[in-house]
């Protein structure tokens, strides 16, 4: 980790960060916080007590600059005890977490009023935040991580909204220069604005997802408005260049429900609309060196400054074993060391995807049928402790024991992807996982499940860095044969050489630390020169 640049900072900023309650959102927000602190600026990172306790240890040279602000998540009866992140609840119950999240508004408002940061950067959920920040004169920016756009996470959103009083209290007390938030706190821009705090939405996704959903209804041509499921099965009319960007039928069903209020009291579409309306700008995890046409079009559609912060490739761990979780690496590395170079398929579907019994069985049997060695990072169902609770096919573990490893607890993904034995990545196509896989030049076997993941797969297939596992268009089901054939095409057949070559070419961009630092420098410059913009 580089030393901080505080000696070169003419004006130390105070930036508040407020991500949605999902670790696929929290960790990228933390990465961005570290980048800001490396430049000598102060960061206040707001989340719930249990989520902050689960964060990785901060580097000693940055911890004095990053203040981890613990908020008390309001109790929502339908949520399990100690449930403070999407990983703690079933997918269909996360809308209650949104309800609790919205209850954080008073705490956030108090923080903004007291601390008066220069900026607040937030996620998609706190639709109430832009107005709060604007009333306080705080610059605001939107930085969204897309998995929480999933329409059934309403319980978690309900709880998240309960953070509003604490966030407001913190902002009022600390008065940061900026607050940077995720998509969920739609109430936050208003709180920050009232305190004169600059506010920004931080989008930890790619540009094509924003393009696909296009401009707001206020600026959309009536003939372009999409009202039926079929409207989402073809590329939008506002994309002026050839593209296959569209949903499959089984993927598009959530879009029709995204405009309806859930148990949190508001819809995801409303959260997003209020976040964008109340933000001074949008920061996005993207760069001009990869598919730049999407970023250019996004800027044209949103009528909002869109500032790329780069791909934010994570730093590859060097001091293995410093963290207690890294002890698992000793066992994993020993197994990987025993495999042939470039032959292992790494299988990981992220922390949000929960496959059903049929999908789990077909994926397992497909891995077996392929004959390839594999390392499978397999998430256990909520509340389970035994591997048997995964309901893998009878005899699967024994039959694949000599060429496969299943790991049901935390894994050091970067170290696995960086091991020379790994030659391919079977992924759910979350944007963070894509960045990590292409950092190491791995071709992708794509099995998307949630909101943005199918669109990601379409673009990456067009880029010829891998293939998508064929699925039934109606229900999204797939077979062991389709899994095995896809694995063979990438890892065995001559066709796979094309994907490998293209992935290796992209790795030069995805792991370019010099390029990344340039984007971060430009991002910091923007914070300095554009703070405290009133609505």
Domains of the chain listed by start with CATH number = 6-308 (3.40.50), 324-510 (3.40.50.2000)
Range in 27-36, 169-178, 365-374, 507-516 with the lowest mean pLDDT: 169-178
Residue 495's pLDDT is 94
Q: Which pLDDT score is estimated for 497?
A: 96
Rounded to an integer, the average pLDDT of 147-170 is 60
285 neighbors 309 (Cβ within 8 angstroms) = yes
pLDDT of residue 206: 82
Question: Residue 159: its pLDDT value, please?
Answer: 64
Residue 214 has pLDDT above 90, yes or no: no
pLDDT computed for residue 381 by the predictor: 56
* pLDDT number for residue 302: 83
Global pTM reads 0.82
What's CA 302's distance to the chain center, in Å?
20
Q: Per residue in 307-319, pLDDT tens? A: 999 998 887 765 4
Average pLDDT value for residue range 58-79: 94
pLDDT given for residue 86 in this prediction? 87
> Does the structure show a pLDDT above 90 at 392?
yes
Q: How far is CA 487 from the centre of its chain?
A: 26
Q: What pLDDT does residue 10 have?
A: 60
Read off the pLDDT of residues 311-344 as tens digits, 9 standing for 90 and up: 988 877 654 444 445 578 899 999 999 999 999 9
Residue 386 tokens read as: 């035994």
If pLDDT is split at 50, 70 and 90, which confidence band does 363 have? very high
Question: What would the pLDDT profile of 424-463 be if each residue is shown by its tens digit?
Answer: 999 999 999 999 999 999 999 999 998 789 999 999 999 9
Please state which of the ranges 1-15, 21-35, 193-207, 458-472 shows the lowest mean pLDDT: 1-15
Mean pLDDT calculated for residue range 279-288: 90
Q: What mean pLDDT, rounded, does the chain reach?
A: 85
- The Cα–Cα gap between 186 and 257 comes to 18
Q: How large is the average pLDDT for residues 272-285?
A: 85
Q: How confident is the model at residue 156 (pLDDT cuts 50, 70, 90)?
A: low
pLDDT of 535 reads: 40
List all residues 6 or more positions away from 28 whose beta carbon is below 8 Å from its beta carbon: 19, 145, 202, 204, 285, 312, 432
pLDDT at residue 249 is higher than 90? yes
What is the reported pLDDT for 201? 83
- Whether pLDDT at 147 is above 50: no
Which of 52-61, 216-225, 385-394 is most confident? 52-61
Does residue 353 have a pLDDT over 90? no
Residue 186: predicted pLDDT: 79
pLDDT range class, residue 217, cuts 50, 70, 90: low
What integer is the mean pLDDT of 153-157? 54
pLDDT per residue over 77-93, tens digit each?
A: 889 989 999 888 887 78
The whole-number average pLDDT for the span 56-60 is 91
**For residue 196, pLDDT beyond 50:** yes
CA distance 413 to 436: 9
Q: Which distant-in-sequence residues (6+ apart) come within 8 Å of 533 by Cβ?
A: 139, 198, 280
Give SS3 for 181.
strand
Using the structure block, give the residue that is written with the tokens 């306790």.
53
**Could you tell me which residue, 395 or 352, shows the higher pLDDT?**
395
**Picking from 356-360, 381-385, 433-437, which range would have the lowest pLDDT averaged per residue?**
381-385
Contacting residues for 441 by C-beta, under 8 A, at least 6 apart? 500, 503, 504, 506, 507
Class of residue 474 by CB neighbours under 10 A (exposed 0-12, middle 13-18, buried 19+):
exposed
Indicate the pLDDT class of residue 226, thresholds 50, 70 and 90.
Answer: confident
**Rounded average pLDDT over 108-118:** 91
């Amino acid at each position: 980790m580089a030393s901080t640049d505080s000696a070169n900072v003419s004006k130390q900023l105070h930036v508040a960060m407020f991500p949605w309650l999902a670790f696929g959102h929290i960790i990228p927000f933390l990465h961005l916080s570290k980048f800001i602190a490396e430049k000598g600026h102060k960061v206040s990172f707001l989340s719930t007590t249990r989520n902050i306790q689960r964060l990785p240890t901060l580097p000693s040279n940055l911890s004095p600059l990053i203040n981890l602000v613990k908020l008390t998540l309001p109790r929502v009866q339908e949520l399990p005890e100690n449930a403070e992140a999407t990983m703690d609840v079933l997918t269909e119950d996360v809308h209650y977490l949104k309800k609790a999240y919205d209850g954080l508004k008073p705490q956030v408002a108090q923080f903004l009023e007291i601390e008066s940061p220069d900026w607040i950067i937030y996620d998609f959920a706190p639709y109430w935040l832009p107005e709060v920040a604007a009333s306080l004169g705080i610059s605001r920016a939107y930085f969204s991580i897309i998995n929480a756009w999933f329409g059934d996470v309403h319980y978690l959103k309900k709880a998240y909204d309960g953070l509003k009083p604490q966030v407001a209290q913190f902002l009022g007390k600390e008065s940061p220069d900026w607050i940077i938030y995720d998509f969920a706190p739609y109430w936050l821009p208003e709180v920050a604005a009232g305190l004169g705090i600059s506010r920004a939405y931080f989008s930890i996704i790619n540009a094509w997802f924003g393009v696909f959903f296009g401009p707001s209804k206020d600026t959309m041509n009536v003939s372009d408005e999409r009202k039926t499921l079929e409207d989402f099965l073809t590329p939008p009319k506002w994309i002026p260049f050839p593209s296959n960007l569209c949903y499959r039928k089984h993927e598009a069903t959530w879009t029709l429900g995204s405009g309806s209020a859930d148990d949190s009291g508001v819809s995801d579409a409303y959260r997003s609309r209020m976040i964008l309306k109340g933000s001074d700008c949008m920061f996005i995890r993207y760069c001009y060196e990869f598919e730049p046409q999407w970023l250019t079009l996004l800027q044209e559609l949103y009528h909002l400054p869109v500032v790329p912060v780069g791909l934010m490739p994570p730093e590859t761990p060097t001091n293995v074993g410093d963290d207690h979780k890294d002890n698992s690496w000793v066992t994993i590395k020993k197994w990987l060391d025993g495999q042939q170079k470039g032959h292992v398929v790494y299988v990981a579907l992220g922390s949000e995807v929960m496959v059903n019994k049929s999908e789990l069985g077909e994926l397992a049997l497909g891995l077996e049928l392929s004959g390839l060695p594999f390392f499978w990072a397999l998430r256990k169902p909520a509340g389970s402790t035994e591997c048997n609770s995964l309901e893998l096919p009878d005899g699967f573990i024994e039959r694949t024991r000599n060429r496969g490893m299943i790991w049901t607890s935390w894994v050091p993904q970067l170290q696995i992807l960086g091991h020379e034995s790994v030659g391919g990545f079977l992924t759910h196509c979350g944007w963070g996982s894509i960045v990590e896989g292409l950092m190491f030049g791995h071709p992708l076997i794509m099995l998307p499940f949630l909101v943005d993941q199918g669109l990601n797969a379409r673009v990456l297939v067009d880029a010829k860095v891998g293939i998508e596992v064929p699925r039934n268009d109606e229900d999204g089901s797939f077979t062991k044969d389709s899994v095995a054939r896809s694995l063979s095409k990438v890892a065995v057949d001559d066709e796979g050489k094309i994907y490998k070559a293209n992935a290796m070419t992209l790795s030069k961009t995805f792991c370019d630390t010099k390029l990344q630092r340039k984007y971060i420098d430009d991002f910091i410059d923007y914070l300095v020169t554009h703070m405290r913009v009133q609505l």
